[in-house]
């Protein structure tokens, strides 16, 4: 891995740990700050909303700035935000610190993806984005379990201090190894970035991102009761099953970059179709423990195989000025996460059982595939000829 990509991966590892480590610390936080566990769970929602809101704001504010100083500033924001989380004396100050930290999430991944794509040859760009995202997937295997264990023994604040240490290392890595002066390292200017958003392919790419993410989180949000109540796995086995899922996400992320460099739209469409088939099968065979574990492992591979191709699709569609579109696409991922969780919950409230919930994810995956296929049809249409002015005789 080239050192600049390694630096971006270290920073994404820090960001991923920041986002997800709190899920394993909710009981400790609730007890310490005298709130209920559901109230503590709103810290997860607050972070997601911070990503959605902060991504376009920071993209607009930094549109004219060089990319490297922006990336350094965003990693510094994560250090400051996590330090504020570790020191927060009350629930609402902790919520504010989480939202502040989340503001940099979408902007970092959006701008970092553009920078990563410009660090390599054109036929390796999706792989470069996947390498940067590798830090995010590895955080679920290494950073989150380590932070949860650390917080369980020494207190939840120590876990956030640990993330601060990783953040300081990521600031140094980005400052030292990310170069200046490459294509895409200069700000494109706000008006150029906004004009690119007028292209329908950019919005279709983000629509695929939203619906594909909703497909995953409509089921993933409720995976614990699915594994325990439907598949009959003991609670202790759920942790190991999710670890297997995390390993699958890492493999899928690496594979997705390679496939997208060769067949970008084909990778997106056929992966979504495969996810729909897998989830439909999961709805039928989910009562069998071995089949359920195998489905979760393969789902992790397929679900995260889409990450870099979806990001690369939006960057390519907005190639004239990609920073704002790339950043908005990170907000689209989180919008899909929140929307999918809501759709899954609504389906359950309407009477759908846990064993049939994967069918909702399958339907959303097919909807995302249909949008992607429609976008591909537009790619193949010849551009409209410009009107020719009448000659003056």
Q: Residue 185: pLDDT band by 50, 70, 90 thresholds?
A: low
Handedness of CA 167, 172, 176, 181 (dihedral sign): positive
Q: How is domain 1-187 classified at the CATH fold level?
A: Growth Hormone; Chain: A; (1.20.1250)
Higher pLDDT, 213 or 62: 213
At 189 the pLDDT is: 63
Residue 250 is predicted with a pLDDT of 87
Q: How confident is the model at residue 294 (pLDDT cuts 50, 70, 90)?
A: very high
Task: Considering only residues 91 and 184, tell me which one the structure prediction assigns the higher pLDDT.
Answer: 91
Each residue's pLDDT tens digit, 213-226: 999 988 887 887 88
Under a CB-based contact definition with an 8 Å cutoff, are residues 359 and 279 in contact? yes
Query: Do the domains 1-187 and 188-380 sit in the same CATH topology, yes or no?
Result: yes
pLDDT at 386: 47
Whole-angstrom distance, CA of residue 305 vs CA of residue 295: 15
d(C-alpha 128, C-alpha 134), whole Å: 10
- Tell me the average pLDDT across 351-368: 94
Chain mean position to CA 94? 23
> Which pLDDT score is estimated for 393?
36
pLDDT at 131 > cutoff 60: yes
Interior CA angle at 93 toward 87 and 98, to 5°?
85
Alpha helices in 185-288 (DSSP H): 190-196, 200-220, 223-225, 235-262, 264-285
Average pLDDT, the chain: 85
Q: What percent of the chain has pLDDT over 90?
A: 36
| N-term to C-term CA, the chain | 63
What was the pLDDT predicted at 179?
A: 85
Contact 329, 110 (CB under 8 A): yes
Higher pLDDT, 139 or 182: 139
Which fold is adopted by the domain 188-380? Growth Hormone; Chain: A; (1.20.1250)
Instruction: Give per-residue pLDDT as tens, 275-287.
Output: 999 999 999 998 9
pLDDT at residue 389 greater than cutoff 50: no
pLDDT tens digits for range 187-240: 556 677 777 777 888 899 999 999 999 999 888 878 878 888 898 888 778 778
Closest-CA residue to 17 (of 105, 90, 100, 89):
105
Q: What ranges do the domains of the chain cover?
A: 1-187, 188-380
- What does the pLDDT average to over 106-117? 86
pLDDT at 392 over 50: no
Give the pTM. 0.79
Higher per-residue pLDDT: 209 or 337? 209
């Amino acid at each position: 891995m080239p050192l600049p990509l390694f630096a971006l991966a270290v920073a994404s590892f820090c960001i991923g740990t920041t986002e997800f480590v709190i899920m394993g610390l909710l009981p400790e936080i609730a007890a310490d700050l005298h709130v209920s566990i559901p109230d503590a769970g709103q810290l997860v929602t607050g972070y997601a909303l911070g990503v959605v809101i902060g991504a376009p704001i920071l993209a607009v504010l930094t549109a004219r700035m060089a990319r490297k100083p922006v990336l350094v500033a965003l990693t510094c924001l994560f250090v400051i935000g996590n330090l504020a989380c570790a020191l927060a004396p009350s629930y609402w100050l902790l919520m504010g610190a989480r939202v502040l930290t989340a503001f940099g999430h979408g902007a970092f991944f959006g701008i970092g993806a553009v920078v990563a794509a410009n660090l390599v040859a054109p036929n390796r760009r999706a792989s470069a984005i996947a390498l940067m995202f590798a830090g995010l997937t590895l955080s679920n295997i290494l950073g989150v379990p380590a932070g949860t264990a650390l917080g369980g023994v020494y207190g939840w604040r120590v876990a956030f201090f640990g993330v601060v240490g990783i953040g300081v290392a990521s600031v140094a890595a980005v400052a030292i190894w990310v170069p200046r002066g490459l294509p895409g390292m200069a700000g494109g200017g706000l008006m150029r970035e906004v004009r690119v958003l007028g292209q329908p392919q950019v919005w279709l790419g983000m629509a695929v991102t939203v619906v594909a993410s909703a497909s995953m989180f409509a089921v993933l949000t409720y995976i614990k009761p699915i594994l325990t109540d439907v598949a009959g796995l003991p609670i202790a086995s759920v942790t190991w099953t999710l670890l297997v899922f995390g390993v699958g996400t890492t493999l899928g992320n690496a594979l997705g970059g390679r496939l997208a460099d060769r067949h970008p739209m084909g990778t997106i469409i056929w992966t979504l179709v495969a996810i729909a088939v897998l989830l439909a099968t999961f709805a039928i065979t989910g009562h069998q423990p071995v089949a359920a574990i195998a489905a979760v492992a393969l789902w992790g591979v397929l679900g995260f195989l889409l990450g870099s191709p979806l990001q690369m699709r939006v960057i390519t569609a907005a190639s004239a000025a990609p920073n704002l579109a790339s950043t908005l696409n990170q907000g689209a991922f989180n919008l899909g996460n929140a929307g999918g969780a809501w759709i899954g919950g609504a389906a359950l409230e309407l009477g759908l059982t846990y064993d049939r919930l994967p069918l909702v994810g399958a339907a959303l995956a097919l909807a995302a595939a249909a949008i992607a296929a429609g976008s591909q049809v537009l790619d193949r249409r010849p551009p409209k000829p410009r009107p020719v002015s009448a000659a003056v005789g």
